């Protein structure tokens, strides 16, 4: 029950911040954006103190751990792969252009 109340408070806080952002349009945009960011941070903080928020934080932490485990390709591997892709796209484009030309010629010769 307490988690639901915290989530409701977080949502209401965010909705109020958005409404106030547009209500006070005569004030500086910088101040309104800063206020919106503060409200969003506070709202996220309140939401993170719930069971669902804790599981989301755990998920984000696990995701960061997995990203650190990724083996990124070297510059040479990236350049070689890019060149192979460009070559294959060019070959396939020429092949499809040739097949299209032959089929177009066949259709024109049959219909004329």
Q: Measured on CA atoms in the order 80, 83, 84, 85, is the torsion positive or negative?
A: positive
Integer Cα distance of 49 and 56 in angstroms: 10
Length of the chain (residues)? 112
Domain ranges of the chain: 1-70, 72-112
Integer Cα distance of 52 and 59 in angstroms: 11
Integer Cα distance of 96 and 101 in angstroms: 8
pLDDT tens digit sequence for 67-88: 999 999 999 999 999 999 999 9
Global pTM? 0.55
pLDDT tens digit sequence for 13-53: 999 999 999 999 899 999 999 999 999 999 999 998 999 88
């Amino acid at each position: 029950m307490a988690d639901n109340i915290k989530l409701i408070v977080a949502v209401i806080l965010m909705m109020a911040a958005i409404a106030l952002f547009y209500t006070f349009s005569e004030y500086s945009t910088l101040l309104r954006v800063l206020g919106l960011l503060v409200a969003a941070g506070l709202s996220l903080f309140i939401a993170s103190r719930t069971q669902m928020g804790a599981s989301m934080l755990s998920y984000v932490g696990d995701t960061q751990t997995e990203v650190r485990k990724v083996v990124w390709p070297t510059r040479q591997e990236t350049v070689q792969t890019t060149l192979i892709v460009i070559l294959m796209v060019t070959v396939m484009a020429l092949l499809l252009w040739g097949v299209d030309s032959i089929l177009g010629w066949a259709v024109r010769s049959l219909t004329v």
